[in-house]
């Protein structure tokens, strides 16, 4: 190796040692953004009485884990790990029902067959992105969400709606915020919780986190960091709702 190359490597090593961990590269979200807005009472009862929590993760490619280097990094698997760590003694099941490319109507169509056999207390329903990309009419989108939530409610589950991801391919759409708004409205109307992924990820971006940190270079899917961070924040949001700190000893402040 030539002297100059050696010098370059030495310089990188020194820089590497002295560089602080950038604050804007950390996984975080404000408390307000993590408020689900629903007590998730069925889940709370299951945890308190049966020491068991059964969750179905319904969704498309984000749920399936496309873009993560390992399916275990997808948010449903991360959610399971984080909940188990936070609630020792509670048996956690997370059933991943993500199918890439699906729109709200396709997921509503399989809501019953995918949720019923798992006896879920929580259905996490990740939706909106494919609907926005395909320009599904907003009223049809809303109707499908309502129908899907009704099915899940009839099967005895609480809902946490997870809205669109904040990534270049979605932000470029003309009306992506309309789809996020419709999801919030339907969630409120149908007494479902909302995990505001869009606003959380937008706050990362606005705090200076570059897309490369949390998006794969297709500009659409979450990478390992994005998936793990969503899993972590979602678990914090759920724990704060159903098992406050004094019961579990779990940290409830985002960091």
Stretch that binds another protein, among 50-58, 143-151, 182-190, 203-211 (CB under 8 A): 203-211
Binding track, positions 65-94, relative to another protein; x by CB under 8 A: ----xxxx----x---x-------------
Q: What is the CA radius of gyration of the chain?
A: 19
CB of 41 to another protein, least distance (A): 30
How many positions of this chain bind another protein (CB under 8 A)? 38
- Identify whether the C-beta of residue 198 lies closer than 8 Å to the C-beta of residue 163: yes
Backbone angles phi, psi at 245, to 5 degrees: -50, -45
Beta strands in 83-169 (DSSP E): 91-98, 122-126, 158-162
Read off the tokens for 132.
């926005």
The CA distance from 234 to 231, in Å, is 5
Stretch that binds another protein, among 51-59, 152-160, 209-217, 239-247 (CB under 8 A): 209-217
Binding track, positions 134-173, relative to another protein; x by CB under 8 A: ----------------------------------xx-xxx
Q: Does residue 19 touch another protein according to CB under 8 A?
A: yes
The CA distance from 206 to 186, in Å, is 27
Show the CA angle centred on residue 236, arms to residues 195 and 200, nearest 5°: 40
The CA distance from 100 to 74, in Å, is 13
Q: Which is nearer to another protein, 47 or 220 (CB)?
A: 220
Q: Does residue 175 touch another protein according to CB under 8 A?
A: no
Q: Which among 74, 247, 84, 94 is positioned nearest to 160, based on CA atoms?
A: 94
The CA distance from 165 to 229, in Å, is 12
In the list 117, 156, 210, 244, the residue contacting another protein (rule: CB under 8 A) is 210
In the list 149, 211, 241, 242, the residue contacting another protein (rule: CB under 8 A) is 211
Read off the tokens for 90.
């509670």
Q: Which is nearer to another protein, 172 or 253 (CB)?
A: 172
Q: Does residue 220 touch another protein according to CB under 8 A?
A: yes
Q: Does residue 115 touch another protein according to CB under 8 A?
A: no
Q: Does residue 218 touch another protein according to CB under 8 A?
A: yes
Q: Does residue 109 touch another protein according to CB under 8 A?
A: no
Burial of 138 (0-12, 13-18, 19+ CB in 10 A): middle
Site residues, another protein (CB under 8 A): 9, 12-13, 15-17, 19, 64, 69-72, 77, 81, 98-100, 168-169, 171-174, 205, 208-212, 215-221, 224-225
């Amino acid at each position: 190796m030539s002297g100059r190359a050696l010098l370059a490597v030495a310089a990188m090593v020194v820089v590497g040692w002295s560089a602080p961990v950038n604050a804007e590269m950390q996984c975080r979200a404000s408390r307000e953004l993590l408020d689900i807005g629903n007590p998730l009472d069925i889940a709370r009862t299951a945890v308190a009485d049966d020491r068991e929590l059964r969750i179905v993760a319904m969704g498309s490619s984000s749920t399936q884990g496309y873009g993560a280097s390992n399916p275990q990094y997808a948010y449903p698997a991360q959610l399971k790990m984080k909940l188990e760590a936070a609630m020792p003694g509670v048996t956690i099941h997370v059933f991943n029902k993500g199918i890439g490319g699906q729109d709200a109507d396709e997921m509503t169509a399989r809501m019953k067959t995918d949720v019923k056999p798992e006896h879920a207390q929580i259905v996490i329903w990740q939706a909106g992105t494919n609907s926005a990309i395909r320009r599904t009419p907003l009223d049809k989108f809303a109707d499908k969400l309502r129908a899907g939530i009704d099915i899940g409610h009839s099967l005895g589950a609480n809902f946490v709606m997870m809205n669109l991801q904040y990534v270049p391919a979605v932000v470029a759409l003309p009306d992506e915020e309309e789809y996020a708004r419709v999801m919030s409205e339907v969630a409120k109307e149908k007494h479902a919780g909302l995990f505001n992924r869009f606003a959380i990820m937008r706050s990362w971006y606005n705090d200076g986190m570059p897309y490369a940190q949390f998006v794969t270079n297709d500009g659409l899917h979450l990478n390992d960091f994005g998936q793990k961070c969503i899993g972590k924040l979602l678990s914090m949001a759920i724990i704060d709702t159903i098992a406050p700190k004094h019961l579990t000893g779990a940290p409830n402040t985002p960091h």
